[in-house]
A and B are shown apart, each in its own frame.
Chain A
Amino acid sequence: MNESQSTVTNDVILKVEDLHKSYGDNHVLRGVSLQMQRGETKVIIGPSGTGKSTLLRCINQLSVPDQGRVWLGDKEITSHHENINSIRAEIGFVFQSFNLFTHLNALANVRIGPMKVKGMKKKAATTLAMEELERVGLSDKADAYPAELSGGQQQRVSIARALAMFPQLMLFDEPTSALDPELIGEVLEVMVSLANDGMTMLVVSHEMGFARSVSDEIIFMESGGILEQGPAEDFFTSPKEQRTREFLSKITELYGD
């Protein structure tokens, strides 16, 4: 579909095919398909309740889709033959509400995955965790418990926790929506540097500045489906759909340019 894509076309990290999900009578996802190449960053925008978060959760099977298939590389996540835990270990997930483990300090939060999922020794895992905390600028907060950190710091630790698993793909579910405005910048900064480092990222966010500056493609979702998608510049300057234009002007009003 994307003939103009400059990256190697054969290196598809994520493939989502015709995903459907209902909660009771509420048909949240109505046949979503998308594809991501290694190193790409895509930002999903759209009105609330259109299934953006559900889509992310269906990708790593935190919610089990009713229909459709998902591949990470050549492994089909939706297949019962694959071990979901080892696939999830390769997909970083960053939550809107951080969800750091309350009883563990920042270091232990980052270390738990390498140790308990991958069986890494404590010493090696500690070194790795410190490196990841360093990467998000929080090595001085290694001993702090989540309750002792600001929202922005918690979110950065949660990014470090995901990074410590060396994920092939990272999913961000409105990572800055729960943050006070003055704390958003520090999280976006980390995400920008990740994108620049070549991390493959699928981000649900209304941070238009971020979308514009680092995303290879914007995906506009509405009513459980993808209404429009395209390279960031085209998307913002000349959106094709009337609904996209309306949404963008509303967002611009709210968040500024």
Chain B
Amino acid sequence: MGFFQFAWNILPELLEATKMTLWITAGSIALGFVAGIFLALGRVYGPRPIRWLTGGYIQFFRGTPLLVQLLVVYYGLPPYLSTLGIRISPLVAAIIGLGLNSAAYQAEYFRGAVQSIKSGQMMAARAVGLNRVKSIAYVILPQALRLVIPSWSNELIYSIKYSSLAYFVSLTELTFVGKKIALHTARTFETYIIVAVIYLVIVLIVSRLLLTLENRVRIPGLGAPVEHR
């Protein structure tokens, strides 16, 4: 059987697994996004204890291996949760593990963007009569979220690839299924090449979408000039 025939044969199974990869990525990036914004705001605007806590969180999750964090969540959390009567599926465990980690990185990107906004913006918002929360919601975040897109794209791309770590918690995502096929067919090299190409295609599509998003929400005078690719 030639390479392309082989590829054609295993593609359906791999694409099924790709769905799982996308679910893991989407879940972890979304959890990381929401948590990351709150972490970043806590770190910039919070009172000292909050700044200290959020800083500690970020240091911890950036300072320990992602795989270890994932294993802790997968094996460590369920016993505690089950005493509370909560059961989490492997998918949810993977999303929580990867998402908590992603939050730390996203928080740093958001913090950078928030702090790059001139202090006059906040001052003008307060002078109009907006309270602190509204100033952040209507003036600071809309600008910061636009500015953060290029660097945030990195985090999303990492998340796609880090989803392969869910392999270790036995989720049938792309890498896991690739490994299984490689074992069964003994065509290891070809299988992993095909797996790699699938990741690459996802990343290319996502990069393209992010660039489109970046240009669509662009505002004159905010961020770098338009880039075409």
Chain B residues, Cβ within 8 Å of A82: none
A103 touches B222 (CB 8 A): yes
Residues of B within 8 A of A95 (CB): 120, 123-124, 127
Q: Does A100 contact B (CB under 8 A)?
A: yes
Say if the beta carbon of B85 comes within 8 Å of chain A. no
Judging by beta carbons under 8 Å apart, are B121 and A101 in contact? Answer: yes
Most chain A C-beta atoms within 10 Å of own C-beta, residue among B129, B138, B146, B219: B129
Residues of A within 8 Å of B130, CB to CB, are: 85, 112-113, 116-117
A143 and B166 alpha carbons, distance in the complex (Å)? 48
Residues of A within 8 A of B56 (CB): none
Q: Which of B123, B124, B142, B221 has the most CB of A within 10 A?
A: B124
Q: Are A101 and B127 in contact (CB under 8 A)?
A: no
Chain A nearest CB from B59 CB (Å) reads 31
Interface pair B127/A62, CB less than 8 Å apart: yes
Would B221 and A147 count as touching, CB distance under 8 A? yes
Given contacts A89-B128, A117-B128, contact A99 B120 (CB under 8 A): yes
Chain B interface SS verdict (over half):
helix
Q: How far is the CB of A55 from chain B (nearest CB, A)?
A: 15
Docked Cα-Cα span, A242 to B52, in Å, equals: 54
| In the complex, residue of chain B having the shortest beta-carbon distance to the beta carbon of A147 | B221
0 or 1 for each of A128-164: is its CB under 8 Å from B? (1 = yes)? 0000000000000000011110000000001001100
In Å, the complex CA distance between A211 and B127 comes to: 24
Total chain B interface residues with beta-carbon distance under 8 A = 22
Q: Is the CB of B220 within 8 A of A148?
A: yes
Provided the pairs A86-B129, A88-B129, A116-B134 are in contact, do residues A102 and B143 lie with their beta carbons within 8 angstroms?
yes
Q: B123 and A103: CB pair below 8 A?
A: no
Bound Cα distance from A103 to B131, whole angstroms? 19
Does residue A93 face the partner (Cβ distance < 8 Å to B)?
yes
- The answer to whether A99 and B129 touch across the interface, beta carbons within 8 angstroms, is no
Q: Is A28 an interface residue (CB 8 A)?
A: no
> Are B222 and A147 neighbours in the complex by a CB distance under 8 Å?
yes
Say yes or no: A103 contacts B146, CB within 8 Å: yes
Q: Beyond A103-B146, A148-B221, list 4 extra A-B contacts (CB 8 Å).
A: A95-B124, A103-B219, A112-B130, A145-B221
Residue ranges of A at the interface with B (Cβ–Cβ < 8 Å): 60, 62, 85-86, 88-91, 93, 95, 97, 99-103, 112-113, 116-117, 145-148, 158, 161-162, 165
Q: Which 8 A-B pairs give the minimum distances between C-beta atoms?
A: A147-B221, A89-B129, A99-B124, A99-B120, A93-B127, A117-B129, A113-B128, A147-B220
> What are 25 A-B pairs at a CB distance below 8 A?
A62-B127, A88-B129, A89-B128, A95-B123, A99-B121, A99-B123, A99-B124, A100-B124, A101-B139, A101-B143, A102-B121, A102-B143, A102-B221, A102-B222, A103-B143, A103-B222, A112-B138, A112-B139, A116-B130, A116-B134, A117-B130, A147-B219, A148-B220, A162-B128, A165-B128
